[in-house]
Chains A and B, each alone.
Chain A
Amino acid sequence: MTPVSLIEGTAAPFGQPNVDTDVIMPKRFLKTVTRAGLADGVFADLRFQADGSEAPDFILNRPDYRGAQILVVGDNFGCGSSREHAVWGLAQLGVKVLLGTTFAGIFFDNCRRNGLLAVTLDSATRDALLARVADPAQAQLTVDLPLQEIRAPGLRAGFDIEPARKQDLLTGADPIAQTLTHAESIRRFEAEAFAAAPWRRIVVG
């Protein structure tokens, strides 16, 4: 995973609530056995018209917001299906930061595993950012993970992040390698758990 630190770039307003992963990555892009080639799938039903041409009104197609690395999003972003393809696609499209209030749990974890910084803000701060970046002249933001703040001319807003998630993002951690350093504990745990509760030991037939 690529480490994340300081992101400077255009932020696009995308404030509708409950944007689900079916909308972020429609199912026709899921019939793949690799992670590659998913940038075209992102918001495909909103981004493209029936004939395949770009939908001119869609926010990421407007000249001011094309290539935005930061999205300011609505409540409960990423709800629905667990498909990590949604996060792979966003990252491949060049999105590095999501500024929102609440994210669906699986999506949130998927972001962390792919170096996509999902920032949870209070509604007032998020709403102010939405209003601000709706003006293309004010859409340039800096998101500083080490200092945990969002900056722009006349703006400085701090954010909270769980220390472990911050660390993973900053270092581009390999969580499987980290977990395997606990292999001994896992073995001990399994032996104890199965002795106490044999019905938890599954051998699928």
Chain B
Amino acid sequence: MTAPRTLYRKLVDAHTVQRLSDDEVLLGIDLHIMNEYTSPQAFSGLADSQRPVWRPGAHLAVVSHVNATRRNGPGDDDAALLIRTLEDNCRTHGIACYSLKDARQGIEHVVVPEQGLARPGMAIACGDSHTTTYGAFGALGFGIGTSEVEHVLATQTLVYTPLKDFRIVIDGPLPLGVTAKDLAIRAVAEVRAGGANGYAVEFAGAAIEALDIAGRMTVCNMAVELGARAALMAPNQAVTDFLKGKPQAPTGAEWDAARAAWQGLASDPDAIFDREIVIDAATIAPQVTWGTSPDQAVAVGGTVPDPATEPTPARRAAAERSLAYMGLAAGQPVAEIAIDRAFIGSCTNSRIEDLRAAAAVLRGRHVSANVAAVVVPGSNLVRKAAEAEGLDKVFRDAGFEWRPAAGCSMCLAMNDDVAKPGERLASSTNRNFEGRQGQGARTHLMSPAMVAAAAVAGRLADVRNFPPLS
């Protein structure tokens, strides 16, 4: 009998090429994803050392970040150079590249699942922190830096320090009107930013089991904000159903074998976690962030907290700094905070399910006159599907700008989609850092439906007060 293991341990064991030292293993990587801005220096490193790519078929490059989504093209010369460099590097090494003219282009973490390339039991690395997203499929996904991108290209492995195990149980069903994003933000607020540094987090519990695939991805995506280097959920029937028939999913006998193997993939019942917390789903309300760290969040019915209640001087100072940056005062009711912009997009919340949820709020309503509202679909396939359903028309009729192209856009504002200093945003993204959506811009994170409600109200608002009109 082997000792009971967590799902995380099983994945690490299944990918261990060999043990390197007491705390390091050489980890085999099944799939490696690249984008245009964290890969160029890795390719030049390869060129300098004249090393070939170990297994070119195991890599996918996607132009995500610099696409100017108003017109699908590079916004400036620097962006053009990044795109061209990625295309050239991929051509040289025989790597698949979904660049701007490809019908499959979009945000990398939206594109990969859409193609059926993220599967249970895989190890997936990418030069992007939100690679934790693939935990939604029971895959070990994690972000790496550019030096490690070069390492994977050259060796198809990484030198890896296994993490400790942390389980977050979300018990019971989510209340009506509460979404995966609210659950994710609440978990980050509970564990705090960096609270899970050094851990792999497994999400479990009835609320997790009930999520659809988009919701599972939203939660695993945000897990990096609490410091988790990996997020996991045991694959369930919904995962198998989702993957079946995806363009690049296994077929025939391989599919049958895969499906059978995926079924048993879970933590053993008596596996030991180094840490565990339980959150009662019934206590989760729609969440908004008020500060400049994703853990600075409250329920939409609450008030901006008083820094004086913070437990340590450092945290008090940080909260005061956040309030100053955000232009807010302690005690202010959250639902009185007026916004200038609404943004729906990002690898956290730009999938078809997210757009449907926002459209359900917007149907028959109109964006407030003071709000500039934009929606950027996560991929071209999402955009096409949304247009086929008429969602683009719902957004346009409501006063949203519907972008004709896909990408990260104002999630990090590396293209021409930049908020101005002092502007306040309701945003379906994952980071409210200082300057993230534009120098001096003030971000409030929330679910896409909550962004839609805020856009209509002209201020942060409880989506439960915006029932569907038709």
Q: Which residues of A contact B (CB under 8 A)?
A: 15-18, 20, 22-23, 26-27, 30-35, 45, 74-76, 79-84, 87, 102-107, 109-110, 113-114, 162-164, 175-176, 179-180, 182-183, 185-186, 189-190, 193, 197-205
- A52 and B85 alpha carbons, distance in the complex (Å): 30
Q: Which residue of A lies closest to B22 (CB)?
A: A163
**Contact, CB under 8 Å: A18 / B318:** yes
**Contact, CB under 8 Å: A182 / B18:** yes
- A61 and B124 alpha carbons, distance in the complex (Å): 41
B275 close to A (CB within 8 Å): no
Known: A82-B144, A193-B15, A202-B30. 4 other contacts (CB 8 A): A182-B26, A199-B250, A199-B257, A203-B58
- A185 and B60 alpha carbons, distance in the complex (Å): 24
Return the 10 tightest CB-CB contacts between A and B, nearest first.
A76-B194, A31-B78, A203-B57, A113-B147, A33-B40, A84-B145, A110-B145, A199-B258, A105-B229, A204-B96
Write the nearest CB–CB distance from B214 to chain A, whole angstroms.
22
Q: Which residues of B contact A (CB under 8 A)?
A: 14-15, 17-18, 20-24, 26, 28, 30-31, 37-38, 40-41, 44, 49, 51, 54-55, 57-60, 66, 76, 78-79, 81-82, 85, 95-96, 115, 117, 119, 121-122, 127-129, 142-148, 150-151, 154-157, 159, 161, 193-194, 197-198, 225, 227, 229, 247-248, 250, 254-255, 257-258, 261, 293, 314-315, 317-318, 321, 412-414, 431, 433-436, 439
- A163 and B315 alpha carbons, distance in the complex (Å): 32
Given the interface contacts A23-B434, A105-B227, A204-B248, does A83 sit within 8 Å of B49 by beta carbon?
no
- A15 and B60 alpha carbons, distance in the complex (Å): 39
- A205 and B148 alpha carbons, distance in the complex (Å): 24
Partner of B147, one of A18, A20, A110, A201: A110
**Contact, CB under 8 Å: B159 / A179:** yes
Q: Determine the chain B residues whose CB is within 8 A of the CB of A102 once the complex forms.
A: 194, 197-198, 227
- A162 and B23 alpha carbons, distance in the complex (Å): 8
**Contact, CB under 8 Å: A104 / B433:** no
Write the nearest CB–CB distance from A75 to chain B, whole angstroms.
6
**Contact, CB under 8 Å: B193 / A76:** yes
Given the interface contacts A23-B434, A110-B147, A113-B148, does A200 sit within 8 Å of B412 by beta carbon?
no
Partner of B433, one of A32, A80, A107: A80
- A134 and B413 alpha carbons, distance in the complex (Å): 35
The 29 sampled A-B contact pairs (Cβ below 8 Å) are A22-B436, A26-B435, A26-B439, A31-B37, A31-B76, A31-B79, A76-B197, A79-B193, A79-B225, A80-B433, A82-B128, A84-B145, A104-B194, A104-B197, A106-B129, A106-B229, A109-B145, A110-B146, A162-B24, A176-B154, A179-B157, A180-B155, A182-B18, A182-B157, A183-B155, A186-B54, A189-B18, A190-B55, A190-B156
Partner of A87, one of B95, B145, B225: B145
- A198 and B248 alpha carbons, distance in the complex (Å): 13
Q: Determine the chain B residues whose CB is within 8 A of the CB of A105 once the complex forms.
A: 142, 197-198, 227, 229
Report how many A-B pairs have Cβ atoms within 8 Å: 216
Q: Determine the chain A residues whose CB is within 8 A of the CB of B115 once the complex forms.
A: 204-205
- A190 and B157 alpha carbons, distance in the complex (Å): 10
- A17 and B315 alpha carbons, distance in the complex (Å): 7
Q: Determine the chain A residues whose CB is within 8 A of the CB of B66 once the complex forms.
A: 31
- A84 and B149 alpha carbons, distance in the complex (Å): 11
**Contact, CB under 8 Å: A22 / B433:** yes
- A155 and B21 alpha carbons, distance in the complex (Å): 33
Write the nearest CB–CB distance from A154 to chain B, whole angstroms.
24
Given the interface contacts A15-B314, A186-B28, A204-B117, does A45 sit within 8 Å of B439 by beta carbon?
yes
- A81 and B254 alpha carbons, distance in the complex (Å): 36
- A182 and B148 alpha carbons, distance in the complex (Å): 17
Write the nearest CB–CB distance from A95 to chain B, whole angstroms.
16
**Contact, CB under 8 Å: A205 / B247:** yes
Write the nearest CB–CB distance from A52 to chain B, whole angstroms.
13
- A93 and B195 alpha carbons, distance in the complex (Å): 29
Q: Determine the chain A residues whose CB is within 8 A of the CB of B321 once the complex forms.
A: 16
Q: Determine the chain B residues whose CB is within 8 A of the CB of A110 once the complex forms.
A: 145-147
Write the nearest CB–CB distance from A179 to chain B, whole angstroms.
5
**Contact, CB under 8 Å: B49 / A176:** yes
Given the interface contacts A75-B314, A102-B197, A203-B57, does A180 sit within 8 Å of B44 by beta carbon?
no
Q: Determine the chain B residues whose CB is within 8 A of the CB of A84 once the complex forms.
A: 38, 41, 145-147
Tell me which of A18, A83, A104 has the highest count of chain B C-beta atoms within 10 A of its own C-beta.
Answer: A18
Write the nearest CB–CB distance from B259 to chain A, whole angstroms.
9
Q: Which residue of B lies closest to A107 (CB)?
A: B145
- A75 and B226 alpha carbons, distance in the complex (Å): 13
Q: Determine the chain A residues whose CB is within 8 A of the CB of B21 once the complex forms.
A: 163-164
Write the nearest CB–CB distance from A159 to chain B, whole angstroms.
16
Partner of B161, one of A107, A113, A162, A179: A162
Q: Determine the chain B residues whose CB is within 8 A of the CB of A185 once the complex forms.
A: 17-18, 26
Q: Determine the chain B residues whose CB is within 8 A of the CB of A176 once the complex forms.
A: 49, 51, 150-151, 154-155
Given the interface contacts A84-B147, A109-B145, does A17 sit within 8 Å of B314 by beta carbon?
yes
